[in-house]
Chains A and B, each alone.
Chain A
Amino acid sequence: MKEFELEPGEEVVLLARKHWLLFLSELLPYAIIAVLPFSLPKFLPLFSVSAPYAEFFTYTTPLARAALGVWLLITWTGCWGTFTKYFLNAWVLTSHRIVDIKQRRFFSREVSSLFLSRVQDVTTEVNGVLPSLLNMGDIKVQTAAEDVEFVMHGIPRPEQMRDIILKYVHEHEAPPTPQT
Protein backbone atom coordinates (compact mmCIF):
# COMPACT_ATOMS: atom_id res chain seq x y z
CA MET A 1 0.00 0.00 0.00
CA LYS A 2 1.46 3.31 -1.00
CA GLU A 3 -1.21 5.60 0.37
CA PHE A 4 -0.67 4.51 3.95
CA GLU A 5 1.88 2.51 5.83
CA LEU A 6 0.73 -0.53 7.76
CA GLU A 7 1.70 -0.45 11.40
CA PRO A 8 3.59 -3.37 12.97
CA GLY A 9 1.12 -6.19 13.44
CA GLU A 10 -1.47 -4.56 11.19
CA GLU A 11 -2.81 -6.51 8.23
CA VAL A 12 -5.29 -5.85 5.45
CA VAL A 13 -8.50 -7.76 6.11
CA LEU A 14 -10.76 -6.63 3.32
CA LEU A 15 -10.76 -4.37 0.29
CA ALA A 16 -14.17 -3.25 -0.97
CA ARG A 17 -15.33 -1.36 -4.02
CA LYS A 18 -18.69 -0.31 -5.34
CA HIS A 19 -20.99 -3.01 -6.66
CA TRP A 20 -20.26 -3.99 -10.27
CA LEU A 21 -23.81 -3.04 -11.27
CA LEU A 22 -23.18 0.58 -10.31
CA PHE A 23 -20.06 0.50 -12.42
CA LEU A 24 -22.04 -0.89 -15.36
CA SER A 25 -24.68 1.80 -14.91
CA GLU A 26 -21.92 4.41 -15.24
CA LEU A 27 -20.91 2.76 -18.51
CA LEU A 28 -24.44 2.87 -19.93
CA PRO A 29 -24.15 6.37 -21.48
CA TYR A 30 -20.94 5.31 -23.24
CA ALA A 31 -22.66 2.17 -24.57
CA ILE A 32 -25.45 4.30 -26.03
CA ILE A 33 -22.94 6.72 -27.56
CA ALA A 34 -20.97 3.81 -29.05
CA VAL A 35 -24.05 2.21 -30.62
CA LEU A 36 -25.34 5.48 -32.08
CA PRO A 37 -23.25 5.54 -35.31
CA PHE A 38 -24.26 1.94 -36.08
CA SER A 39 -27.95 2.58 -35.54
CA LEU A 40 -28.07 5.74 -37.67
CA PRO A 41 -27.93 3.91 -41.06
CA LYS A 42 -31.10 2.06 -40.02
CA PHE A 43 -33.00 5.13 -38.79
CA LEU A 44 -32.01 7.81 -41.29
CA PRO A 45 -33.71 6.22 -44.35
CA LEU A 46 -37.01 6.22 -42.46
CA PHE A 47 -37.39 9.98 -42.96
CA SER A 48 -37.21 11.69 -46.31
CA VAL A 49 -35.26 14.65 -44.88
CA SER A 50 -32.46 12.53 -43.42
CA ALA A 51 -32.44 9.78 -46.04
CA PRO A 52 -29.70 11.36 -48.25
CA TYR A 53 -27.26 11.25 -45.32
CA ALA A 54 -27.67 7.53 -44.67
CA GLU A 55 -25.00 6.74 -47.22
CA PHE A 56 -22.33 8.53 -45.16
CA PHE A 57 -22.98 6.19 -42.24
CA THR A 58 -22.09 3.06 -44.17
CA TYR A 59 -18.47 3.99 -43.34
CA THR A 60 -17.08 3.18 -46.75
CA THR A 61 -15.46 6.55 -47.35
CA PRO A 62 -12.16 7.50 -45.67
CA LEU A 63 -13.77 10.52 -44.01
CA ALA A 64 -16.57 8.43 -42.53
CA ARG A 65 -14.12 5.82 -41.27
CA ALA A 66 -11.99 8.51 -39.66
CA ALA A 67 -15.06 10.02 -38.00
CA LEU A 68 -16.20 6.61 -36.72
CA GLY A 69 -12.71 5.76 -35.47
CA VAL A 70 -12.41 9.04 -33.58
CA TRP A 71 -15.93 8.69 -32.17
CA LEU A 72 -15.22 5.19 -30.86
CA LEU A 73 -11.76 6.16 -29.59
CA ILE A 74 -13.20 8.99 -27.48
CA THR A 75 -15.99 6.73 -26.21
CA TRP A 76 -13.59 3.93 -25.34
CA THR A 77 -11.22 6.31 -23.56
CA GLY A 78 -14.16 7.63 -21.52
CA CYS A 79 -15.11 4.05 -20.58
CA TRP A 80 -11.58 3.29 -19.51
CA GLY A 81 -11.41 6.49 -17.47
CA THR A 82 -14.62 5.44 -15.70
CA PHE A 83 -13.10 2.04 -14.93
CA THR A 84 -9.94 3.71 -13.65
CA LYS A 85 -11.96 5.89 -11.32
CA TYR A 86 -14.06 2.92 -10.18
CA PHE A 87 -10.99 0.87 -9.42
CA LEU A 88 -9.08 3.58 -7.57
CA ASN A 89 -11.99 4.26 -5.19
CA ALA A 90 -11.86 1.73 -2.39
CA TRP A 91 -12.42 1.02 1.23
CA VAL A 92 -9.65 -0.89 2.95
CA LEU A 93 -10.35 -2.59 6.24
CA THR A 94 -7.24 -3.46 8.18
CA SER A 95 -7.02 -5.09 11.57
CA HIS A 96 -6.57 -1.62 13.13
CA ARG A 97 -8.54 0.86 11.01
CA ILE A 98 -10.73 1.63 8.04
CA VAL A 99 -9.11 3.53 5.18
CA ASP A 100 -11.38 5.41 2.80
CA ILE A 101 -9.71 6.16 -0.54
CA LYS A 102 -11.61 8.63 -2.69
CA GLN A 103 -10.43 9.33 -6.22
CA ARG A 104 -12.79 12.11 -7.27
CA ARG A 105 -11.03 12.78 -10.56
CA PHE A 106 -7.48 12.72 -11.82
CA PHE A 107 -5.12 14.54 -9.45
CA SER A 108 -7.86 14.82 -6.82
CA ARG A 109 -7.46 12.13 -4.20
CA GLU A 110 -8.41 11.88 -0.56
CA VAL A 111 -7.26 9.15 1.79
CA SER A 112 -8.65 9.15 5.32
CA SER A 113 -8.21 6.67 8.14
CA LEU A 114 -10.54 5.85 10.97
CA PHE A 115 -9.13 3.79 13.80
CA LEU A 116 -11.42 0.99 14.89
CA SER A 117 -10.97 1.97 18.54
CA ARG A 118 -12.98 5.14 17.74
CA VAL A 119 -15.89 3.39 16.05
CA GLN A 120 -19.15 3.69 17.97
CA ASP A 121 -21.68 2.36 15.53
CA VAL A 122 -21.87 0.68 12.14
CA THR A 123 -25.09 0.98 10.17
CA THR A 124 -26.08 -0.68 6.91
CA GLU A 125 -28.81 0.51 4.59
CA VAL A 126 -30.30 -1.44 1.71
CA ASN A 127 -33.03 0.51 -0.07
CA GLY A 128 -34.97 -0.58 -3.13
CA VAL A 129 -35.86 -3.76 -4.96
CA LEU A 130 -32.72 -4.10 -7.07
CA PRO A 131 -30.28 -3.43 -4.21
CA SER A 132 -32.18 -5.97 -2.10
CA LEU A 133 -32.04 -8.60 -4.83
CA LEU A 134 -28.38 -7.95 -5.57
CA ASN A 135 -27.48 -7.48 -1.93
CA MET A 136 -25.86 -4.08 -2.20
CA GLY A 137 -26.21 -1.06 0.03
CA ASP A 138 -24.57 1.65 2.08
CA ILE A 139 -22.47 1.40 5.21
CA LYS A 140 -22.16 4.22 7.71
CA VAL A 141 -19.49 4.10 10.34
CA GLN A 142 -20.07 6.54 13.18
CA THR A 143 -17.40 7.64 15.59
CA ALA A 144 -17.67 9.16 19.04
CA ALA A 145 -17.36 12.59 17.49
CA GLU A 146 -20.76 13.24 15.95
CA ASP A 147 -19.46 15.00 12.89
CA VAL A 148 -17.13 12.20 11.83
CA GLU A 149 -18.90 9.63 9.74
CA PHE A 150 -17.55 7.31 7.11
CA VAL A 151 -20.04 6.45 4.42
CA MET A 152 -19.58 4.10 1.52
CA HIS A 153 -22.33 3.87 -1.03
CA GLY A 154 -23.38 0.87 -3.08
CA ILE A 155 -21.03 -1.76 -1.80
CA PRO A 156 -21.76 -5.48 -2.17
CA ARG A 157 -22.81 -7.55 0.85
CA PRO A 158 -22.99 -4.64 3.33
CA GLU A 159 -24.17 -6.83 6.23
CA GLN A 160 -21.19 -9.13 5.86
CA MET A 161 -18.84 -6.16 5.81
CA ARG A 162 -20.54 -4.66 8.88
CA ASP A 163 -20.07 -7.94 10.76
CA ILE A 164 -16.39 -8.05 9.85
CA ILE A 165 -15.91 -4.42 10.95
CA LEU A 166 -17.70 -5.07 14.23
CA LYS A 167 -15.63 -8.18 14.84
CA TYR A 168 -12.44 -6.14 14.64
CA VAL A 169 -13.99 -3.27 16.61
CA HIS A 170 -14.72 -5.67 19.47
CA GLU A 171 -11.14 -6.89 19.38
CA HIS A 172 -9.99 -3.30 19.95
CA GLU A 173 -12.36 -2.57 22.80
CA ALA A 174 -10.73 -2.38 26.19
CA PRO A 175 -11.74 -5.22 28.51
CA PRO A 176 -14.41 -4.16 31.05
CA THR A 177 -13.05 -3.07 34.41
CA PRO A 178 -14.06 -5.45 37.19
CA GLN A 179 -16.77 -4.13 39.54
CA THR A 180 -15.81 -3.98 43.19
Chain B
Amino acid sequence: MTSLPLQSFSPPEFLNTLLSNSVSMGAVVMGTLLFVFAFWALYTIVAIYHWLKYSHASAVAFPAIGIHLFISFGLIVYALSGTVII
Protein backbone atom coordinates (compact mmCIF):
# COMPACT_ATOMS: atom_id res chain seq x y z
CA MET B 1 0.00 0.00 0.00
CA THR B 2 1.42 3.35 -1.01
CA SER B 3 1.66 5.97 1.64
CA LEU B 4 0.17 9.34 0.81
CA PRO B 5 1.27 12.64 2.28
CA LEU B 6 -1.14 14.15 4.78
CA GLN B 7 -3.44 16.70 3.28
CA SER B 8 -5.74 19.10 5.05
CA PHE B 9 -9.45 18.46 4.68
CA SER B 10 -11.28 20.14 1.86
CA PRO B 11 -14.95 19.72 0.96
CA PRO B 12 -15.80 17.65 -2.15
CA GLU B 13 -15.65 19.51 -5.43
CA PHE B 14 -19.29 18.84 -6.32
CA LEU B 15 -20.36 20.51 -3.06
CA ASN B 16 -18.43 23.64 -3.93
CA THR B 17 -19.96 23.68 -7.41
CA LEU B 18 -23.46 23.14 -6.06
CA LEU B 19 -23.14 25.91 -3.50
CA SER B 20 -21.57 28.38 -5.88
CA ASN B 21 -24.16 27.75 -8.59
CA SER B 22 -27.42 27.66 -6.65
CA VAL B 23 -27.05 29.27 -3.24
CA SER B 24 -24.68 32.00 -2.20
CA MET B 25 -22.68 31.60 0.98
CA GLY B 26 -24.23 34.79 2.32
CA ALA B 27 -27.72 33.36 1.94
CA VAL B 28 -26.75 30.19 3.79
CA VAL B 29 -25.24 32.20 6.64
CA MET B 30 -28.24 34.53 6.74
CA GLY B 31 -30.65 31.59 6.82
CA THR B 32 -28.72 29.93 9.63
CA LEU B 33 -28.62 33.16 11.64
CA LEU B 34 -32.34 33.70 11.16
CA PHE B 35 -33.09 30.16 12.30
CA VAL B 36 -30.93 30.51 15.42
CA PHE B 37 -32.37 33.91 16.31
CA ALA B 38 -35.93 32.64 15.83
CA PHE B 39 -35.18 29.68 18.10
CA TRP B 40 -33.61 32.03 20.66
CA ALA B 41 -36.65 34.33 20.57
CA LEU B 42 -39.09 31.46 21.03
CA TYR B 43 -37.05 29.93 23.87
CA THR B 44 -36.73 33.31 25.58
CA ILE B 45 -40.46 34.03 25.35
CA VAL B 46 -41.29 30.61 26.85
CA ALA B 47 -38.74 31.05 29.66
CA ILE B 48 -39.95 34.59 30.45
CA TYR B 49 -43.52 33.27 30.59
CA HIS B 50 -42.40 30.71 33.19
CA TRP B 51 -40.44 33.29 35.16
CA LEU B 52 -43.37 35.68 35.34
CA LYS B 53 -45.96 33.02 36.10
CA TYR B 54 -44.07 30.81 38.54
CA SER B 55 -41.29 32.87 40.08
CA HIS B 56 -43.19 33.23 43.35
CA ALA B 57 -43.20 37.03 43.01
CA SER B 58 -39.48 36.90 43.44
CA ALA B 59 -37.23 39.89 43.07
CA VAL B 60 -34.92 37.66 41.04
CA ALA B 61 -37.27 37.36 38.07
CA PHE B 62 -36.82 40.76 36.45
CA PRO B 63 -33.04 41.00 36.97
CA ALA B 64 -32.68 37.46 35.54
CA ILE B 65 -34.73 38.37 32.47
CA GLY B 66 -32.89 41.68 32.08
CA ILE B 67 -29.43 40.09 32.29
CA HIS B 68 -30.45 37.41 29.79
CA LEU B 69 -31.72 39.97 27.29
CA PHE B 70 -28.69 42.23 27.77
CA ILE B 71 -26.12 39.47 27.23
CA SER B 72 -28.11 37.91 24.38
CA PHE B 73 -28.42 41.20 22.51
CA GLY B 74 -24.68 41.73 22.98
CA LEU B 75 -23.95 38.35 21.42
CA ILE B 76 -26.45 38.93 18.59
CA VAL B 77 -24.84 42.27 17.79
CA TYR B 78 -21.42 40.60 17.85
CA ALA B 79 -22.63 37.85 15.51
CA LEU B 80 -23.96 40.45 13.09
CA SER B 81 -21.00 42.80 13.46
CA GLY B 82 -19.29 41.55 10.29
CA THR B 83 -20.54 42.20 6.78
CA VAL B 84 -22.06 38.76 6.58
CA ILE B 85 -25.14 39.75 4.62
CA ILE B 86 -24.11 39.69 0.98
Is the Cβ of B72 less than 8 Å from the Cβ of A70?
Answer: no
- B82's partner among A65, A77, A87 (CB-CB below 8 A) is A65
Given contacts A63-B84, A69-B80, is CB(A109)–CB(B75) below 8 Å? no
Residues of B within 8 A of A69 (CB): 75-76, 78-81
Chain B nearest CB: distance from A14 CB in Å?
A: 13
Within 59-83 of B, Cβ neighbours of A (below 8 Å) are at 60, 64, 68, 71-72, 75-76, 78-83
Is the Cβ of B83 less than 8 Å from the Cβ of A66?
Answer: no
Residues of A within 8 A of B54 (CB): 2-3, 88, 101, 103, 109
Is the Cβ of A65 less than 8 Å from the Cβ of B46?
Answer: no
Residues of A within 8 A of B38 (CB): none
Given contacts A84-B47, A106-B47, is CB(A70)–CB(B79) below 8 Å? yes
Residues of B within 8 A of A65 (CB): 78-79, 81-82, 84
Within 20-48 of B, Cβ neighbours of A (below 8 Å) are at 25, 29, 32-33, 36, 40, 43-44, 46-47
Within 104-154 of A, Cβ neighbours of B (below 8 Å) are at 106-107, 109
Any B CB within 8 A of the CB of A81: yes
Where chain B touches its partner, the secondary structure class is: helix
Chain A nearest CB: distance from B85 CB in Å?
A: 9
Chain B nearest CB: distance from A93 CB in Å?
A: 13
Is the Cβ of A73 less than 8 Å from the Cβ of B56?
Answer: no
Any B CB within 8 A of the CB of A83: yes
Is the Cβ of A66 less than 8 Å from the Cβ of B64?
Answer: no
Is the Cβ of A80 less than 8 Å from the Cβ of B47?
Answer: yes
Chain B nearest CB: distance from A95 CB in Å?
A: 17
Any B CB within 8 A of the CB of A165: no
1/0 per residue, CB under 8 A from B, across A34-71: the answer is: 00000000000000111111000000011101101110
Most buried by B among A1, A53, A66, A103: A66
Interface residues of chain B, those whose CB is within 8 Å of chain A, are 6, 8-9, 25, 29, 32-33, 36, 40, 43-44, 46-47, 50-51, 53-58, 60, 64, 68, 71-72, 75-76, 78-84
Given A80-B64, A87-B64, 11 extra CB contacts under 8 A = A1-B56, A1-B57, A15-B56, A62-B82, A63-B29, A65-B81, A76-B68, A80-B47, A84-B51, A88-B54, A92-B56
